[in-house]
Amino acid sequence: MLEARDLEATRGDRTLFSGVSFSLAPGGLLRVTGANGRGKTTLLRALCGLLLPAAGEVRWKGQNIRALREEYWAHLLYIGHANALKDDLTPEENLAFASRIGGITVSRDRVHAALTRFGLGGRERLPVRALSQGQRRRATLARLAVAEAATLWILDEPFAALDTAGIGLVQSMAGEHLARGGMVVLTTHQDARIEAPSAIDINL
Amino acid sequence: MSIAPTTPSLRDTPPRAGGEFSVLRAVIHRDLLLALRRRSALATVLLFFVIVVSLFPFGVGPEPNLLRAIAPGVIWVAALLSCMLALARLFAADFADGALEQMLLSPTPLGLIVAGKVAAHWLMSGLPLVAIGPVLALQFDLDQSLLGVLALSLLIGTPVLSLIGAIGAALTLGLRGGGVLLALLVLPLYVPVLIIGAGALDAAGAGLSALPHLLLLAALLVLAAVFTPWAIAASLRISAE
C-alpha cells in the first residue's frame, strides 16, 4: 500500500507542488501528468525516497518510507528517465547487474528471455554504445520482465524514445503487473492505455 | 528463431538470493570490467604517477644522498596525487547515467555497495602503485633493503587513501569545480597517512624497525575500512538528492 500525505516539493524558493495526497492499493495505477517543469520527476523521486519532500510524508504499508529504507526498496522497481546503462557493457551485463543491485539474482536464460521480449534478441552481446536511443530504452525497460517480485513499479517517462510496438509492450506488461496485484506509478505525456483494476490521475 | 514471450510468474523468480556479499562481488566485477574496457583512464593515472616521480631526479640533480633522502616523501606525495586524480571519476559516471540512483534504491545496504566500488577503485589505481613504486625508487638510489618496506607501506596505505578520498568524491559529486574542491577537502586528510607512510621508510633507512609505522598504518586502514563506507554512503545520499 503506497500512501502519500500532503507532499510538497520546492526548488529554490519556488514551490513545485503542494498538498499532493493519494493512496494506492494493490492493482492500482497512478498516472502523473503535467507540463514540463511541474515536478513530475521530483514527485516520483520523493515517492522512491531519493529526495526528502519539503513537507508531508510517503508511507508504505502504513510506515514512513524513511524508517523502512531497504525494506521498502526491496519492493520497489524505479526506472528513472536516465537509462542507468553502461555504454561499455552489453545489454545482457547491464540487465544482470541492475537486477542484482535491485536484489534479485536472475539466471542467464531469464536475462535472454527478457531482452528477447523487448526486441533485443541477437543484440545481447553488443555494447550499449552501439544501440539506438530507442533500443537503449528497451534495454532498460527489460528490467520489467524480471522484476515481478517488486510490488511497486515507479516509471518515469517509460514511453520516451519508444516506438509504438515498444509502448504497447510496456503497457501490456504494466497491465499484467497490475492484474497480479502489483502497483504502478508512471509519468507520461501520452495517453497510456493500461488495463487497471483501479486508476488515479494526478495533474501537477 | 525467436523465444516465445513468457509470462513470468512469481514461482520462477529465484528468492532474493546470493547473500549481500554477492552484491559486493558483483559491484567489484562490474567496475573492473568497465575499467578493462576503457583502459585509457587507468593508464592516465599510472603514467601520471610515473612522470611525477621521475621529474624529481631531473629537477633536483644527480646528488645521490639528496635523492635518497627525498625518495620516500616524493613517492608518497606522488601516490597521494595520482590517487586523487582517479577519485574524481569514482562516482561521477554512475551519477551522470542514473546507475547511482539504482544503487541508492538497492535493498542491499549502500555501505556495502560503496565498499565494492572503493575496492575496485583501489585494485585499479592503488595496487599498481605498489608494484611500480619500488621500481621508480631505483631512480633515487634507494637502498634495496628498503624496497620491500616501500611496497609494504604502499600496500597498506593506498587503500586508506582510496577510502578517505571516496568521502570527498561523494561530497563533491555533481558540483561545479568539484575537482579542486575535492583536492582541498581530501589532501589535508591524507597528511597522517603521508607522515606515517614516509616515516616507515625513514625509520628503516635509519636502521630502526619500520614495524611501528606499518602497524599504525594498518590500524588506520582498519578504522577507515570500518567507518568510511557508511560516511561515503551518507554523503552520496545527500549529494544525489
| Secondary structure, 3-state, A74-132 | CCEEEECCCCCCCCCCCHHHHHHHHHHHCCCCCCHHHHHHHHHHCCCCCCCCCCHHHCC
pLDDT category at B22 given cuts 50, 70, 90 is: confident
Beta strands in chain B (DSSP E): none
How far apart, in whole angstroms, are the C-alpha atoms of residue A203 and residue A24?
A: 16
pLDDT category at B8 given cuts 50, 70, 90 is: very low
CB A69 within 8 A of CB A36: no
User: Exposure string (b/e) for A21-37, b if CB count within 10 Å is 16 or more?
Assistant: ebebeebbbbbbbbeee
Whether domain A1-75+151-204 has CATH 3.40.1360.10: no
Give residue B107's pLDDT: 92
Residue B219 lies in a domain: yes
- List the single residue in B7, B16, B101 with the smallest CB-CB distance to A50: B101
Which residues partner with A153 through β-bridges? A77, A184
- List the single residue in B12, B93, B98 with the smallest CB-CB distance to A80: B98
B142's grid cell: 634507494
Which residues partner with A64 through β-bridges? A59
- List the single residue in B8, B17, B109 with the smallest CB-CB distance to A105: B17
Which residues constitute the domain of residue B190? 20-240
Give residue B42's pLDDT: 84
- List the single residue in B10, B22, B102 with the smallest CB-CB distance to A148: B10
Lowest mean pLDDT, pick from A66-80, B13-27, B206-220: B13-27
> B13, A148: Cβ pair inside 8 Å?
yes
Chain B touched by A172 (CB under 8 Å) = no
Please check the confidence at residue B231 and state whether its pLDDT lies above 90: yes
Residue B12: CB atoms within 10 A of its CB come to: 10
Find the angle CA(B240)-CA(B20)-CA(A180) to the nearest 5 degrees: 80
Nearest CA in chain A to B28: A97
Query: Which residues of chain B have a CB within 8 Å of the CB of A83?
Result: 97-98
Instruction: Assess: ipTM above 0.95.
Output: no
How far away is chain A from the Cα of B7, in angstroms, using its nearest Cα? 8
- List the single residue in B8, B97, B109 with the smallest CB-CB distance to A148: B8
pLDDT category at B18 given cuts 50, 70, 90 is: low
The count of C-alpha atoms lying within 13 angstroms of the C-alpha of B174, restricted to the half-sphere facing its C-beta, is 15
Give residue B33's pLDDT: 93
Chain B touched by A198 (CB under 8 Å) = no
pTM for the full model?
0.90
Residue B37 lies in a domain: yes
How far apart, in whole angstroms, are the C-alpha atoms of residue A141 and residue B134?
A: 49
How far away is chain B from the Cα of A70, in angstroms, using its nearest Cα? 4
Q: B127-172 pLDDT, tens per residue?
A: 999 999 999 999 998 888 899 999 999 999 999 999 999 999 999 9
Chain B touched by A103 (CB under 8 Å) = yes
How far away is chain A from the Cα of B93, in angstroms, using its nearest Cα? 9
Query: Which residues of chain B have a CB within 8 Å of the CB of A47?
Result: none
Please check the confidence at residue B216 and state whether its pLDDT lies above 60: yes
- Residue percentage of chain B with pLDDT more than 90: 70
B86's grid cell: 582517479
Please check the confidence at residue B9 and state whether its pLDDT lies above 50: no
Per-residue pLDDT of chain A in tens (204 residues, 90 and over written 9)? 899 999 999 888 889 999 999 999 999 999 999 888 889 999 999 999 999 999 999 999 999 999 998 999 999 999 998 999 999 999 999 999 999 998 888 888 999 999 999 999 888 889 999 999 999 999 999 999 998 889 999 999 999 889 999 999 999 999 999 999 999 999 988 777 888 888 899 988
The residues of chain A that CATH labels 3.40.50.300 are: 1-75+151-204
Return residues 12-41 of B near A (CB < 8 Å): 12-14, 16-18, 22-23, 26-27, 30, 33-34, 37-38
Our count of domains for chain B comes to 1
> A73, B2: Cβ pair inside 8 Å?
no
Q: B161-190 pLDDT, tens per residue?
A: 999 999 999 999 988 877 888 999 999 999
Q: B37-92 pLDDT, tens per residue?
A: 988 888 999 999 999 999 999 998 888 899 999 999 999 999 999 998 888 889 99
How far away is chain B from the Cα of A127, in angstroms, using its nearest Cα? 10
